[in-house]
Amino acid sequence: MAFLSGRRRRSRLAPELDDQELGKLMKNLLATTRASTIGMTDMCVAQISRLLEREPDDWDRRAHRIGVLAEFLAGWRLPRSWAMREPRNANALVLYAWSEVARARSQGSLEDAAGVIDSCLRAAELTPEDPTPWVVVLRAARLERWEQSQVFGVWNEVLARDRWNREAYLNMLSYLTPEEAGSRLQVLEFVDALCARMPANAPCAATELTAQVLQYHSVLDRGGFEALVARNHWSQATTAQALDRVAHNWVQPGFLRHARALADLNILAYALMAADRRQEARAAFEALGGIVTHWPWQTGGDPLTEFEQMQRKVTRSG
C-alpha cells in the first residue's frame, strides 16, 4: 500500500496530462505574462508556434494541445491578437476559435458565432487535410444548437480526415444526449455503431464508457430515490459489460497510446469506483500516477479531493 499512499501525496490536476512539452509551455506563458516585458505577445506567440509546428500531421496530439491551450488562454487577449495579426496562419485561427468556444461555455452562447465559424473555415482552406478546424466547428455547433443534419455534416468532415478522432466522437455523443439535441435511443445507436467497428485502442475508445458515465450522472441529477439507488446503474448487464471490455486492457502499459489516454484512465478509475470494483480500480489509479482531470471527478465536488478520497478507499480495501 505504500505505492498508493505515495501516489496520493503527488496527485495533481494536470490539463496537459503527460505532455511535458505542453506543460512546460503553459508555465512559460504564465512567467512571460507576469514579467510584463516589452514584446510579451511576440514571445508568447513564438513559444506557442514552436510547439504547434512539431508533429504537424499527428492530428490526435494536435487537437489535445490546441484544446488545452484554448482552455488555458480563454480569458486572454492573446488568441484574438494573434489571429488578427496573422489572418493566414491556421494555428492562430484555430486557437482563437477554440478559445472563444471555451470562453462561451460559461456564457451559454458565442458572442460572435459567425466570426468563430469563419476563422475555422479559413483555417480549413489553409490546411485542408487537418480535421482540427472542423472539430472546433462541431463544438461551436453544439453551443449554437444547430440542427442534426448540419451537425452530422460537420462530424463527417472530421471523420473524412481522421477516422477515430476522439474530440469528434465525444462531442457527437454529448450532442446526441437528451440534455442537448437527441435522445437516449440515439446515444445507444451511436455507441453501438462505433463499438462494432472501432479498434479497441482507438483514440475514441472511451466513447462507450463516457456514455455510461453521462447516463449515471443523469440519474444522480434526478435526485430523490433514483439518486439513492444510482449505483444500480453499474450492475446492469450492458453497463457491466462496457466496463469488462476495458478494465483489463486499458491499464496495460502501452495499450492506450493517444494523447488523452490519461483522461480516459481517469474515466475508467471513476467508473470502477462508482461500480464498487475497487480491486480493478487500483490498477487504474496506479496507471494514472496521480494525474487528475476535472471531469468526471468534479461531479462529486472538488475533483482533486474526490480523486484522493476514492484512492484512499482503494488503499483501505487492498
CA distances 256 to 148, 205, 221, 253, Å, are 31, 9, 31, 8
User: Domain range for residue 230?
Assistant: 1-17+202-318
In a domain, residue 81? The reply is yes
Q: Assign 167 to helix, strand or coil.
A: helix
Indicate if the pLDDT at residue 80 is higher than 90: yes
Residue 182 lies in a domain: no
% pLDDT > 70, the chain: 95
Of 157, 175, 193, the position where a domain reaches its end is 175
Same domain, 223 and 134: no
CA 148 to CA 315: how far, in whole Å? 46
Q: Are 84 and 155 part of one and the same domain? A: yes
Q: Radius of gyration (Cα) for the chain, nearest Å? A: 20
Say if residue 228's pLDDT is above 90.
no
Q: What is the pLDDT of residue 40?
A: 82
Question: Residue 318 — pLDDT band, cuts 50, 70, 90?
Answer: low
**Binning pLDDT at 50, 70 and 90, where does residue 300 land?**
confident
Arithmetic mean of pLDDT over the chain: 93
Q: What is the C-alpha to C-alpha distance for residues 301 and 150, in angstroms, rounded to an integer?
A: 36
Q: Do 122 and 213 fall into the same domain? A: no
Q: What is the pLDDT of residues 119-133, one digit of tens each?
A: 999 999 999 999 999
pLDDT at 306: 96
If asked whether residues 225 and 318 sit together in one domain, one would say: yes
Instruction: Retrieve residue 105's grid coordinates.
Output: 461555455
Q: Do residues 12 and 109 both lie within one domain?
A: no
5 pLDDT higher than 60? no
Evaluate whether 304 touches 292 at the Cβ level (below 8 Å). yes
76 & 130 share domain: yes
CA neighbours closer than 13 Å in the CB half-sphere of residue 183: 3
* 11 and 23 belong to one structural domain: no
d(CA 292, CA 285): 10
Check: CB of residue 73 under 8 Å from CB of residue 26.
no
User: Which helix (H) or strand (E) segment is 12 a member of?
Assistant: strand 12-13
Q: How far apart are CA 198 and CA 160, in angstroms?
A: 15
* 72 belongs to a structural domain: yes
Residue 192 located in a structural domain: no
What is the pLDDT, as a whole number, of residue 35? 64
Does residue 23 sit in the same domain as residue 171?
yes
Residues facing 291 on adjacent strands: 12
* Domain assignment present for 187: no
Q: Report the number of distinct structural domains present in the chain.
A: 2
0.75 cut: is pTM over it?
Answer: yes
pLDDT (tens digit per residue) in 242-295: 999 999 999 999 999 999 999 999 999 999 999 999 999 999 999 999 999 999
Per-residue pLDDT of 183-227, as tens digits, reads 999 999 999 999 999 999 999 999 999 999 999 999 998 889 888
Residues 7 and 35 placed together within one structural domain of the fold: no
Considering only 4-8, 153-157, 208-212, 263-267, which range has the smallest mean pLDDT? Answer: 4-8
Three-state DSSP at 292 gives strand
Which CATH number characterizes residue 148's domain? Answer: 1.25.40.10
